[in-house]
Structure 1
């Protein structure tokens, strides 16, 4: 092989390596936003609420260092904030407020959970604080199994819950952890969302009584100090966190579609299944009981 042939061969090898490197980098999907609303998934909060036996247990689960349900670090001290739980009630309405503990005597509302009983039915509405999640970010969960916490709310063991913990004084189990990048947090918290529940985001509205009760324990110290960091200021043109979810899902689907079109060289053919190799799943999502909470 003469010099010219060796030179052309080297150019071809470099070109092939360059193409392979471009394909490798473009198939990597990373988080496109670090918005603070991405750091506490309220569907995961709904799942944890439905699995708790009472509000003390709920607060423990929210702050469990092993499950890492929260990724919020509002005061940016390098540690995930402790989330305290406060409750106020009147007649058949209970309002549960989740607050980040930021400093001595400084707290920020993160979300509220309204629990209302009408006859034999109990309705739950989770509302993200408008400053963090944007206005009207609601979730109405439909639980596959009646939550044990319902029996606590309406049973003889009920006692109002006001978290005894505050800045610098936390329960023994709590050991602060450093926040993760949003996409790593998302991968972790997704495993804590109960797939047997449904999470309705449409046609949900809090009643005025719940709003009035929540005001008695509300704290918005971070919001007062940082008016320029509201959801509207952080995300121009978006209504609330649901728009971020839809936008990120659309980007993810477009990226996957491009990667599939680029890497596919032949039509996909489903492998042949024999009778002996096919067994229906014993835990299909359809086996869960959906709907209301009638008991």
Structure 2
């Protein structure tokens, strides 16, 4: 009888130990998949930029409730933030800044796009804000065909763009939606990445002119409120978003495998036809147009 009791006790001990190990493993995996940097794919942003006719069109693409390129809810109000676009320029350099609208007169830089024109070509560098993405998180897109927005930057009708929209006043097409879990967002946002382009992640640096230009429009209100919640503090031992996914190198090597001459190609930019929809109900709040209408503030 004592032997049976001892055997039963031993079996129960093994069973409880296995359950505890499973719980520990599940908790660890979940904790590593919820960083805020996972909620805006900068390759998708690069693709949208290359397909835009001007910066007003680019801002519309970023906030399209059907495409749902963004999944950012930095102010944690339960709705994805509106992303406004502001721009400054000097000679042949343009700096486009994407900012989350957090509250009245409160904004947080999310990413910047530097566009520089030389005698030979035009270069684009997309940089994730260090507070959100970590240090030196760069994407250098090489477009399969010349983006139409280049003609706007250096065309006769160019004027610097400043988004006319702000907290509580958004364009009629914008309907706030609930953010998705990051893994669901990533599974769906890939259809908005143009795989005919290349997205290099070399160890490049922003030039000093671009950094200087951005200072005039920079906003970091979220960083000021929560300075201890930077990427570095959220992810100890990691330098930037690249380190969050050990499988990243496989995907980026695939996109970098072809050398494309973007200055001479006539192949049109296309989007995969089998786009998937996000089956979630729309969540809306009162919105109206600012008095200035659609055009944006021009300087």
| TM norm structure 2 | 0.74
Deviation at 1:291, TM superposition (A): 3.7
1:290 equivalent to 2:290? Answer no
Does residue 156 of the first structure (1) align with residue 156 of the second (2)?
Answer: yes
Q: Which residue of 2 aligns with 1:202?
A: 202
Q: Distance in 1 between matches of 2:35 and 2:138?
A: 18
Task: Tell me if the contact between 1:145 and 1:289 (Cα under 8 Å) persists in the aligned partners.
Answer: no
SS of 1:109 mapped into structure 2 = strand
Alignment of 1:271-282 (within 5 A): none
The CA distance in 2 between the partners of 1:161 and 1:249, in whole Å, is 34
The aligned residue for residue 96 of structure 2 is: 96
Is this contact kept in 1: 2:81–2:102, CA < 8 A?
A: yes
Aligned to 2:139: 139
Distance 1:112 1:245 in 2: 22
Count of matched residue pairs? 235
Separation in 2, partners of 1:293, 1:132? 33
For 1:189 and 1:70, how far apart are their aligned partners in 2?
Answer: 9
**Structure-1-length-normalised TM-score:** 0.75
Kept after mapping to 2: 8 A contact 1:75/1:102: yes
Q: What is residue 120 of structure 1 aligned with on the other side?
A: 120
Sort the Cα spacing of 1:48 and 1:218 in 2 relative to 1 into closer, same or farther, 3 A: same
- What SS class does the counterpart of residue 38 from structure 1 fall into? helix
Cα drift, residue 158 of structure 1: 1.1
* Residues in 1 aligned to 2:215 and 2:152: alpha-carbon distance in whole angstroms: 24
1:152–1:289 CA distance, 2 compared to 1 (3 A): farther
Q: How does 1:38-117 map to 2 (within 5 A)?
A: 38-117=38-117
Ranges of 4+ aligned residues in structure 1 off by more than 3 Å: 29-32, 291-295
Q: 1:150 to 1:35 in 2, by over 3 A?
A: same
Displacement of 1:41: 0.3
Which secondary structure does the structure 1 equivalent of 2:192 belong to? coil
| Paired residues of 1:142 and 1:293 also in contact (CA < 8 A) | no
Which residue matches 1:260? Answer: none
- RMSD between aligned residues: 2.4
C-alpha separation in 1, matches of 2:31 and 2:263: 36
Residue in 2 that maps onto 1:228: 228
| Maintained 8 Å contact 2:146/2:262 | no
How far 1:292 sits from its partner (Å)?
A: 4.7
Q: How far did residue 30 of structure 1 move?
A: 7.7
Whole-angstrom CA distance in 2 between matches of 1:30 and 1:147: 39
Query: What is the CA–CA distance in structure 2 between the aligned matches of 1:239 and 1:294, rounded to whole Å?
Result: 37
Q: How does 1:169-208 map to 2 (within 5 A)?
A: 169-208=169-208
Measured after TM superposition, the shift of residue 193 of structure 1 is: 0.3
Q: Is the 8 A contact 2:145 2:262 kept in 1?
A: no
Whether the 8 Å CA contact 1:31–1:182 is kept in 2: the answer is no
- Unpaired runs of 5+ residues, structure 1, are 1-21, 254-284
